[in-house]
Amino acid sequence: MAKKNEKEGILLETGTNEIEIMKFRVAGELYGINVAKVKEIMMSEHVKPMPHAHPAVEGFFKPRESLITVINLAKYLTGREPDHLENSRDLFIITNFNKMMVAFRVDSIEGISRISWRNISKPDKTLENGDDSVATGIAQCEDELVTILDFEKIVAEIAPETSIKISEVEELGPRENDSAPIVIAEDSVLLQQMVRSALEKAGYTEITMFNNGQECWNYLNGIKGNADLYDRVNVVITDLEMPMMDGHRLTRLIKSDKQLRNIPVVIFSSLINEQMFLKGKEVGADEQLSKPEIGHLVQVLDELVRRFRENRKEGFQS
């Protein structure tokens, strides 16, 4: 019975298009992080320096059994030495995404707000500075504007070896081009480029990219009545964290639609863990993979495209 109650508690929050944001301050400014990325909050501890590291990397510490790298967000965001920033050494936000733990030093924690993804806007081009943007969105939390930081981009910039590697695709060996139309919902400009490059390297030549789940849904909803629907989309790949509409909500909408539900959906996210896997399964995701496993994504994509073509020939008989 306990397991059933636990499962029901999780499912109540699945596909609601809501996010819990932990608000914190760095150098006097208000920022946010998805609570799903936060493992714990700790008082700062002594950090052992790491020679020749990125300027924003303070070093590492070992709170229990694991070594955890410490990134000073004030240094990363402002470029100023931490010693010049008052109250910049108070707390560690211990994060867990992309199957690794990283500590971010912040000034203070300001609380948690639960809001709809619709209340998070993508910065326009005058603010985001193209590929250099470190903000995935601007959230309206009560009467405050909160900048949601792209923690994946921060870590990828500091430690490129932890991000998507084209070499994983090259290790799959020679491949032929495939014109299967792939639709992708991903809000990070950096990851859009990385995923597109990797899939094109794998031979997939027809890729349509959208900045969030809402844009992707608008596209799919607009073509679902067309006779050439399955010539325009064979597989949907979606991130989870996105302004306007998240990946769980997008997946639920696709799998609840009589015309679209035959299209395979892959959730490709840094947040895949046991709980998130259960949520993805309940909304109907066909596959769920953790970033940055791009080689695995290509292999899964190969299988889903093959299966989609076979099922299409058979008229998608259940």
CATH number of the domain within which 286 lies: 3.40.50.2300
Residues 104 and 215 in one domain: no
- pLDDT at residue 86 tops 60: no
Residues 172 and 135 in one domain: no
The neighbour count for residue 295, using CB atoms within 10 Å, is 19
Q: Tell me the longest C-alpha to C-alpha distance in the chain.
A: 67
Residue that has been written with the tokens 């302004």 in this structure:
243
Q: Which of 2-16, 27-41, 239-253, 263-277 has the lowest mean pLDDT?
A: 2-16
Token pair listed for 187: 């809000």
Considering the domain boundaries, does residue 38 fall inside one?
yes
What residues contact residue 194 under an 8 Å CB cut-off, 6+ apart? Answer: 163, 164, 294
Considering the domain boundaries, does residue 249 fall inside one?
yes
Considering the domain boundaries, does residue 41 fall inside one?
yes
Return the pLDDT at 65.
81
Angle between the 151-158 and 189-201 helix axes, to the nearest 10 degrees? Answer: 60
Residues 36 and 155 in one domain: yes
At 121, the pLDDT band (50, 70, 90 cuts) reads: confident
The sign of the dihedral angle between the CA atoms of 255, 257, 244, 297 is positive
Return the pLDDT at 9.
42
Higher pLDDT residue, 220 or 15?
220
pLDDT digits (tens, 9 = 90+) for 259-307: 999 999 999 998 888 889 999 999 999 999 998 899 999 999 999 999 9
- pLDDT at residue 13 tops 80: no
Q: Is 157 exposed, middle or buried (0-12, 13-18, 19+ CB in 10 A)?
A: middle
Residues 208 and 146 in one domain: no
Instruction: Write the CA distances from 267 to 1, 43, 248, integer angstroms.
Output: 29, 34, 8
Domain count, the chain: 2
Residues 27 and 100 in one domain: yes
Higher pLDDT residue, 17 or 260?
260
Q: Identify the CATH number of the domain in which residue 146 sits.
A: 2.40.50.180
Q: Which of 77-91, 134-148, 268-282, 292-306 has the lowest mean pLDDT?
A: 77-91
Instruction: Write the CA distances from 291 to 185, 269, 302, integer angstroms.
Output: 14, 5, 17
Residues 97 and 147 in one domain: yes
Considering the domain boundaries, does residue 9 fall inside one?
no
At 167, the pLDDT band (50, 70, 90 cuts) reads: confident
Residues 120 and 255 in one domain: no
Residues 57 and 138 in one domain: yes
Q: How does the average pLDDT of the chain come out, rounded?
A: 87
Residues 44 and 128 in one domain: yes
Q: Are strands 207-210 and 235-238 parallel, antiparallel or unpaired?
A: unpaired
How many degrees, rounded to 5, is the angle at CA 16 between CA 11 and CA 21?
A: 100
pLDDT digits (tens, 9 = 90+) for 185-233: 998 888 898 899 999 999 999 999 999 999 999 999 999 989 999 999 9
Considering the domain boundaries, does residue 54 fall inside one?
yes
For residues 297 and 269, the answer to whether their CB atoms sit within 8 Å is no
- pLDDT at residue 8 tops 80: no
182 is in which domain, residue-wise? 164-313
Considering the domain boundaries, does residue 194 fall inside one?
yes
**Domain boundary pick from 160, 175, 198:** 160
Residues 23 and 44 in one domain: yes
Return the pLDDT at 29.
93
Return the pLDDT at 318.
53
**Domain boundary pick from 125, 160, 195:** 160
Rg (CA), the chain: 20
Provide the H-helix boundaries in the chain: 2-11, 73-78, 125-128, 151-158, 166-170, 189-201, 213-223, 229-232, 247-255, 274-283, 294-313
**Domain boundary pick from 160, 185, 200:** 160
Task: Report the distance separating Cα 186 and Cα 267, nearest Å.
Answer: 10
Residues 106 and 181 in one domain: no
pLDDT digits (tens, 9 = 90+) for 47-63: 999 898 999 999 999 98
Higher pLDDT residue, 212 or 129?
212
Residues 28 and 150 in one domain: yes
For residues 270 and 242, the answer to whether their CB atoms sit within 8 Å is no
Return the pLDDT at 166.
86
- pLDDT at residue 175 tops 70: yes
Considering the domain boundaries, does residue 129 fall inside one?
yes
Considering the domain boundaries, does residue 318 fall inside one?
no
Task: Report the distance separating Cα 84 and Cα 74, nearest Å.
Answer: 10
